[in-house]
Structure 1
Amino acid sequence: MLNETVFRSEDVPPADRFGYWAERLRKTHAPVTLSSKHTHDFRFTQRVLDLGSVSLWPATFEQVTIRRTPKLIRQSDPELYHMSLVVMGTGAGTWDDGEATYRPSDLHINDSAVPWEIRTGAEPVTALGLEIPKALLPLPRAVSGRPLPRLVTSREGTGALLCDLLTRLASHPDQFQPSDGPRLGTAVTHLVAALFAHLLEAEKSLPPETHQRALILRVKNFIRRHMHDPQLTPSVVAAAHHISVSYLHRLFQEEEITVAAWIRRLRLEAACRDLADPALGDVPIHVIGTRWGFPRAAEFSRAFRSAYGMPPRDYRHLSQTSPAL
């Protein structure tokens, strides 16, 4: 599981909770001032996931107004870009050059060197916060100094790919090892750089490595969304991304696994989760195999036994009787 630290308002007395949240924001992002209608008993939870030099912090919190003022910037600037994916609730942001309103699935961007004010709605907000040091982004100085849009869609293109990755990391940190953190942070950084370059119409300024890493992530996301399709093959994946099969295989050389093997592993991992789910205990094993791209029961059984050393039926039995499996 990724290294994760959890902070809850219940960790401190009610009178100290608002100050505790303010301190969390200062440590997670940058010095800010806060006000709220709930200062007497402010409720929040925050999880901080360690992705090396990058941090991802899913959080839920009550109504609040947060300000990053010119005075605070002069006192301390950690030189970060902050991004938040709104999962639940609403908010509005104000900058010297305009305003933006945020709703679920919106992605907003802040710069620690720019004054701003964020006001959340009356209902609690759930968001995925992301902090990236500016120095990590492979953008030319002339590009990195230009103002970014404050509101970005997460429904298409690189924005959707980035939000899918952040959501998966926040929802399933148990699917990764602590040692994966820095590698995942690098992947997130390349995606953010690709998104910023697109927003600034400066894609040509990105180094080849960033283009390549962003393409690999797009390919993997495509495979995850289509792995239930038994017709999903390297040829289909390559055609969907307008690249040759040989280039697709070269992209995966650094992954130390072939494309076909990666597809098979994802399918088997998904089947494992279904087999271990007590709620699916009455679903026939061949149906689970078909659901995850194995339309023939014998093929599913052979692949499963080869990967896990036992047939699917035995795995289901053991996983539902042994918590350690």
Structure 2
Amino acid sequence: MQPQIFDTAPLPAGDRFGLWLEMLARTPTLMRIRTEHADNFLARAEFLDLGAMQLIRHRYRPLDGVRTRKLIQRSDADCYLLAVTLNGVGVADQDGQRGVCPPGDITFYDCARPQELSHYADEDDRAASIVALIPYDALPLPHRRLTPLFASRMSGREGIGALLADYLIRITSHPEQYHAVDAERLGGVGLDLVTTLLGRHLVSEEAVPTEVRRRALLAQVQAYVRQHLGDAMLDPRTIADAHHISVRSLHRLFEVEETTIAAYIRDERLARCRRDLADPALGDRSIQLIAGRWGFRDKAHFSRAFRAAQAETPQAYRTRHLEQARIVNSAASEVNPARTD
């Protein structure tokens, strides 16, 4: 996927702020902006369309913003906004509530209601955030139930909040790693995580549909597995205990995905091993050491699992990919020989 990028850096300093305001006027986040850097407003916005959810990764000079009822009438405002602070401190006010969000925290508000915001950063630094724009009908939660959460502060450093923040950061940091055909599915996973996070902060999680809770739990379990692949003791009991569910419930979670938890762990470990075996920078590292790094402590078991998945031995796989890398690097050197003068 390729994001649409708006960057004021290539523009004349005197034009930057005005053109930033023109860009902002074409989004549902139209605001009246004040900043001490209007004479040289360095800012960048990267827009990524994930179907029902649009992501915008912002980086800009410190500013204050006000969204009035008149400005709301001039924009398509039937949506929510969820923001993850990446750098600086964000402050959001809406309906008499205020959320002060340092890096890693999350806030949420309704674009159809007046609001105020400020985003500050250290001197000579730029504020940064990721914004998710979510249409009302894309979020399966009663609108009236969400009012207590507007302009609230939610942690993005633990639990489901951390999983959501990490998910948004990963996608917006490397959108080129994903295919355009995956956009709708990626947006759906993001919406499930947002819905579950908001549900956790409501009085009752029963407002969150059962299927949404299941998919969010699956995403949490998968993230946990990826973080602990190097632990040879990783097993269904450990994973179930970490998520306060029974082993039976864990197995049912993966049955719906037409796989098993054991197969998921194995496939993720093999994927990491393939990556390392094909990496020229790790060419002097033994195959057994690479396998052990990702939880395969038994050499024979690793070889059998690898051959079953790849139809070749780990050594053959490594030799083939390292030779391909050598040929590519050699060709690149011939095209762009190093200068010796």
Do they fold alike, i.e. is TM over 0.5? yes
CA separation in 2, counterparts of 1:203 and 1:33?
36
Deviation beyond 6 Å, 4+ runs, structure 1 = none
| Alpha-carbon distance, 1:305 to partner | 3.9
CA separation in 1, counterparts of 2:327 and 2:109?
47
Aligned to 1:249: 251
TM-score relative to the length of structure 1: 0.87
For the 8 Å contact 1:149–1:199, the answer to whether it is kept is no
CA separation in 2, counterparts of 1:23 and 1:154?
31
TM-score relative to the length of structure 2: 0.83
For the 8 Å contact 1:223–1:263, the answer to whether it is kept is yes
**Secondary structure of the residue that 2:230 maps to in structure 1?**
coil
| Alpha-carbon distance, 1:216 to partner | 1.0
The C-alpha deviation readout for 1:174-218, integer Å capped at 9, x for no partner, is 443222211121121122122222212121122211221121112
The C-alpha deviation readout for 1:55-86, integer Å capped at 9, x for no partner, is 12222222222221222123334222112211
Aligned to 1:100: 99
Q: What are the ranges of 5 or more consecutive residues in structure 2 without an aligned counterpart?
A: 330-341
**Secondary structure of the residue that 1:320 maps to in structure 2?**
helix
Q: How does 1:1-325 map to 2 (within 5 A)?
A: 2-95=1-94, 97-121=96-120, 122=123, 123-310=125-312, 311=314, 312-314=317-319, 317-318=322-323, 320-321=325-326
Q: What is the letter of the counterpart of residue 320 of structure 1?
A: A
- Over 3 Å counting, the alpha-carbon distance change for 1:119 and 1:287 in structure 2 is same
Q: CA RMSD in A?
A: 2.6
Larger Rg: 2
- Over 3 Å counting, the alpha-carbon distance change for 1:186 and 1:64 in structure 2 is same
For the 8 Å contact 2:27–2:75, the answer to whether it is kept is no
Percent identical residues: 37
- Over 3 Å counting, the alpha-carbon distance change for 1:286 and 1:320 in structure 2 is farther
Q: What are the ranges of 5 or more consecutive residues in structure 1 without an aligned counterpart?
A: none
Q: What is the letter of the counterpart of residue 170 of structure 2?
A: R
For the 8 Å contact 1:148–1:200, the answer to whether it is kept is no
**Secondary structure of the residue that 1:117 maps to in structure 2?**
strand
For the 8 Å contact 1:276–1:319, the answer to whether it is kept is no
Question: How many equivalent pairs are there?
Answer: 323
For the 8 Å contact 1:3–1:50, the answer to whether it is kept is no
CA separation in 2, counterparts of 1:282 and 1:105?
38
**Secondary structure of the residue that 1:100 maps to in structure 2?**
strand
| Alpha-carbon distance, 1:254 to partner | 4.2
